[in-house]
Chain A
Amino acid sequence: MTAVEAIGSSLGDDSAVRRRDDSPVLRMSETEAAALGDVPAEHGDTRMLVNMGPQHPSTHGVLRLMLEMEAETVLRSKPVVGYLHTGMEKTGETLTYLQGATNVTRMDYASPLFNELAFSMAVETLLEIDVPERAVWIRMLMSELNRISSHLLFQATNGLDMGAVSAMIYGWRLREDTLRLFEKITGLRMNHNYIRPGGVAADLPDGWRDDLLRLTDALPDKVDEFDTLLTGQPIWRERLQGVGIVNAAECLALGLTGPLLRSTGYDWDLRRDMPYLAYDEVEFDVLVGTYGDCFDRYAIRLNEIRESLHLVRQILDKMPGGDYRIQDKKVTPPPRARIDQSMEALIHHFKIFTEGFKVPEGEAYAAVESPRGELGCYIVSDGGPKPYRLHMRGPSFVNLQVLPHMMANTLLADTVAIISSVDPIMGEVDR
């Protein structure tokens, strides 16, 4: 029986899910927690409420945890989020579809291009347009590069959380290489606003192929260094193996996606199973784990870097020529050179950038496989130039719900490993 079959047979029985759902989540408000401080504990009651974060180096930004502890053991816990909430969905309603990409790109700031991609795909579904082939492949190239940089960032922060500080230096240094490439292609290291409804902002710059080849030639050896440094290392294994275990039935019940779901052996990747862009024209493997523990998630992310590199090489070979954005005058501003020659082109340019283009009435949902799981974008259009409602389904926000389940009855020291292995990006959680 393969892992998937084993899980399949346990899917029907959801008693395991229900049982673990009752207890480990601490459902307590601030006010109740504050009032609890004044009540003297009953004799023999050694439980205490410990606050972790939001300013804690290992809680990845501004995640805060309320932990109910008995000595060193975590009993129940509650992730408290919202410290980074800036109302980006509300802001999205005041920006045109062209400006929208600049807004959404700031949500998951470790993989900004995926936000832009999900947003653009939702808008294009509403417009019922197809982007040119070259734009599709450029988008795919950028997505995979972004997956590499995001997973490298994970290797860095995960190493730091575990006390392997050298891994942090290695990870950040390698990520820097991909960011430099992003800067060359998009003009910005982060928050690119590169993928826009209708295509991408600009064609790939001169010499991109050489730069990319330099990166893909150098990266595999450097990624292997993580294996040398961490994978076989006894302390590393002790810290991660058997920690933060989750099974597939729990993942499905809690809506978990991405490496978290795959670490349980459940074989699901949107790129392969519900292909978007041109993922059905390239070859790649979907990596799954076996035990659903922190080590599996570390290993999956490390190997997804290699798989993405494999994809990048294929994209390099297959990159088609042609337009990098759709030549639909309703959506695309005229080329820069035309503006100098034609009054109409100038007016057209001005109209698109001030008023924006109108999107037919309706609603649509588009989803992509971001490094953290299913990143979805739901847009309702009232026929005007701005979304009537813009909603982003952030994988980190949903994935965070697993923390209390993973942390129940583990040691406080393991909570750090667990948070790290979920790899939440708070910008996306709070939006």
Chain B
Amino acid sequence: MTDESSDEEEQAEATAPESVHGAPVTSSRGQKVLHPDRDSYVEVVGALRADGYVMCVDVTAVDYLLDPARDLPPGVEPQRFEVVTSLINHAERSRVRIRVQVPDDDPVLPTLFDEYPGTEAMERETYDMFGIVFDGHPDMSRILMPEDWEGHPLRKDYGVGTVPVQFKAPEART
């Protein structure tokens, strides 16, 4: 574990005016993270794909409703949702993570389906769990929950749900 001060130093180093394809770059525990905005998201991913990031490994999201403070490079406005996409470059053996801020009142993000068709299921899962709509996706439907389910379970304002525990024996039926 490192103490706070060295962590901050790392952050300061990482948030130096560095950018890839116009998106600010930070480092999270030594892992490369890009922060494009919503409009340039697909463009940045397309450029990365041309750079040799041949596979989209993962698409998921985080709901920052209860923890709005987080490390973001200057100029990136924090929003409630954050879509997290992981790409891998086999030739250079490197990974890159892309975090895009998605606001609560307009949870829409363009789909990556045209770049990586394999994001179809992952974006459906993200829609199912967070209610983030991927614009241009061929089949924006629920994947894990039943079709007629209401709500998006991994949102922070969606309860965990508990089963009441009975500590006493039930009273005898008459």
Main secondary structure of the interface of B (DSSP, over half): loop
> Interface residues of B, CB < 8 Å — how many?
46
| Residues A126 and B29 in contact, CB atoms below 8 Å apart | yes
CA distance A81 to B122 in the complex (A): 13
Q: Is the CB of B62 within 8 A of A389?
A: yes
In this complex, the member of B30, B56, B67 whose beta carbon has the largest number of chain A beta carbons within 10 angstroms is: B67
How far does the Cβ of A329 sit from chain B's closest Cβ, in whole Å? Answer: 11
Residues of B within 8 A of A127 (CB): 1
For A398, give its contact among B7, B54, B122 (CB under 8 Å): B122
A81, B120: Cα distance in complex, Å? 14
Contacts of B57 in A (CB 8 A): 255, 257, 367, 374, 376, 393
B117, A85: Cβ atoms closer than 8 Å: no
Are A398 and B118 in contact (CB-based, < 8 A)?
A: yes
A378 with B116, Cβ < 8 A, contacts A128-B2, A273-B90, A393-B58 known: no
B35 on the A face (CB < 8 A):
no
Expressed in whole angstroms, the Cα–Cα distance for A363 and B29 within the complex equals 8
Instruction: Check if A90 is an interface residue, CB within 8 A of chain B.
Output: yes
Query: Inside 8 A of B119's CB, which chain A residues have their CB?
Result: 255
Interface string of A94-117 (1 = CB under 8 A from B): 100000000000000000000000
Flag if B153 contacts A90 (CB, 8 Å): yes
Q: Which one of A17, A129, A328, A401 has the greatest number of beta carbons of chain B within 10 Å?
A: A401
Q: How far is the CA of A389 from the CA of B129 in the complex (A)?
A: 12
Bound CA–CA A108/B97 (angstroms): 24
Give chain B nearest CB distance to A78 CB in angstroms: 9
Q: Is B121 an interface residue (CB 8 A)?
A: yes
Q: Does the CB pair A376–B154 fall under 8 Å?
A: no
How many angstroms from the CA of A328 to the CA of B28 in the assembled complex? 23
- Provide the A379-405 mask, 1 if CB < 8 A to any CB of B, else 0: 010100000110101000110110000
**Which chain A residues lie closer than 8 Å to B67 at the CB level?**
382, 388
Q: Does A256 belong to the interface (CB within 8 Å)?
A: yes
Chain B residue contacts of A90, Cβ below 8 A? 153-154, 160
A252 contacts which chain B residues (CB < 8 A)? 54-55
CA distance A430 to B125 in the complex (A): 10
- Over the window 15-47 of chain B, the binary record of Cβ atoms lying under 8 Å from chain A Cβ atoms (1 yes, 0 no) is 000000000000011110000000000000000
Docked complex Cα distance between A128 and B58 (Å):
23
Residues in B neighbouring A431, C-beta threshold 8 A: 144
Judge if A274 is at the interface, Cβ distance under 8 Å: yes
| CA distance in complex: A94, B161 (Å) | 11
Beyond A273-B93, A328-B1, A378-B84, whether A27 also contacts B58 by CB under 8 A is no
The 7 closest A-B pairs by CB, nearest first: A255-B118, A254-B118, A82-B144, A27-B139, A85-B144, A382-B67, A393-B58
Please list 16 pairs of residues, one from A and one from B, whose beta carbons are closer than 8 Å in the complex, sorted by A's number. A11-B54, A17-B117, A18-B117, A30-B147, A82-B145, A82-B146, A252-B55, A255-B57, A273-B93, A328-B1, A360-B1, A391-B84, A393-B57, A398-B118, A401-B118, A430-B144
Query: Known contacts A363-B62, A365-B86, A382-B67; can you find 18 more A-B pairs with CB under 8 A?
Result: A25-B138, A25-B139, A85-B145, A87-B153, A94-B160, A127-B1, A252-B54, A255-B57, A255-B116, A330-B1, A360-B7, A361-B70, A361-B71, A378-B84, A391-B60, A393-B60, A400-B121, A401-B120
